[in-house]
Amino acid sequence: MTLGLTPGDRVLIVPPHPDDETLGAGGTIARLTSQGIEVHVLAVTCYPLPRWGQAASTEQRRQEFEAACDVLGVAGRAIAWADDERARHLEAHLSDLVRLIEGGSDLSLDALRPTALFMPAAGAVHQEHQLVHRACYAAARPSGTARHSPDIVLGFAGPEDYAWAHSPEQHPVVVDITESAAVKEKALECYRREMRDAAHPRSLERIWAIDAARAAALGTERAESFAAYRLAW
C-alpha cells in the first residue's frame, strides 16, 4: 500500500509541462500503478521553446509524453493547452486554469473525483510551475458539496528546485521507489531531449543523487519526497 491508497482509487497529477510528472514523481507514479491505483496526468502547457540550443516541436513533446505515460502505466493523459495564447501566457489565464482543474476537462477534479492530487510544490524555480501551483491550490480548496476536494494533496519538486530554489519547502512525505526506480529511468529516457549531461540537475546522475538523498530518511536506495498540503483520512 502507498499513501493509504488502495486498488480502485484514482490519482490526478498536474505537471506544468510534459516531463515534470516523471522528473518529480515518476517513481511514485510507477509504484502506484503497479499496485492497481488509477493514475491520470493532466499536463498544463506545451509549446516550442528553444533551450540548450534546440527546440522540440509540440508534436514531438506530445509523443514523448505519451511514451513516458505508457511506461509509467498512466491511464488517462492529456495536454490541456498547446501552442496557443493560454499556453504561452499562463498568468493572464490563471482563473481559466483554476476552472480547468476544477471541472473543465475529462481529467479534472470533478470528472475523476480522485482521492489524491499531486501538483507542483510552492517555491519552484520556474515561473510557470509557481502559477500551476497557485491554480491547483485554489482548485483543491475545501468547498463542501459544491465540488470535489481530494483527501490527499501533495506537492512535487523537480531537480532544478532542489538545486536552485531560494526557499524550498519541507517535503516530509517520503515514498520508497527502490523497486520502481528502473521504470522511472525508462520513462526519463523518453524525454532524453530534455535531459542534460552529468553535473547539471537534469542529468540522470544528479536525479539519482537526489532520490538517494531522499531515501536516507527511510534507509532505502531510492525515494521521492513531497510537500504535504492535505492528508485527510
**Separation between Cα atoms, residue 141 and residue 116, nearest integer Å:** 13
Query: Are the CB atoms for 91 and 218 separated by under 8 Å?
Result: no
**Dihedral angle computed from the Cα positions of residues 221, 226, 232 and 233, in that order, rounded to the nearest 10 degrees:** -10
Adjacent-strand bridge partners of 156: 120
pLDDT at 50: 63
pLDDT at 84: 85
CATH number for the segment(s) 10-231: 3.40.50.10320
Give the mean pLDDT per block of 10 residues along the chain (233 residues).
96 97 98 98 86 72 96 98 88 95 96 98 92 98 87 94 77 97 97 78 88 96 98 89
pLDDT at 178: 98
pLDDT at 51: 60
pLDDT at 197: 75
Helices (H), the chain: 20-34, 58-72, 85-88, 94-103, 109-112, 127-139, 159-164, 181-190, 204-215
HSE of 119, CA atoms in CB hemisphere, 13 A = 29
pLDDT at 199: 78
pLDDT at 165: 76
* 3-state SS, residue 80: strand
pLDDT at 139: 97
pLDDT at 52: 54
**Separation between Cα atoms, residue 62 and residue 157, nearest integer Å:** 22
**Separation between Cα atoms, residue 14 and residue 58, nearest integer Å:** 18
Query: What's the order of all strands across the beta sheet hosting 116-120?
Result: 77-82, 38-46, 10-13, 116-120, 152-156, 223-231, 173-176
pLDDT at 55: 64
The three cell numbers of residue 201 are 540537475
* DSSP element (H, E) containing 77: strand 77-82
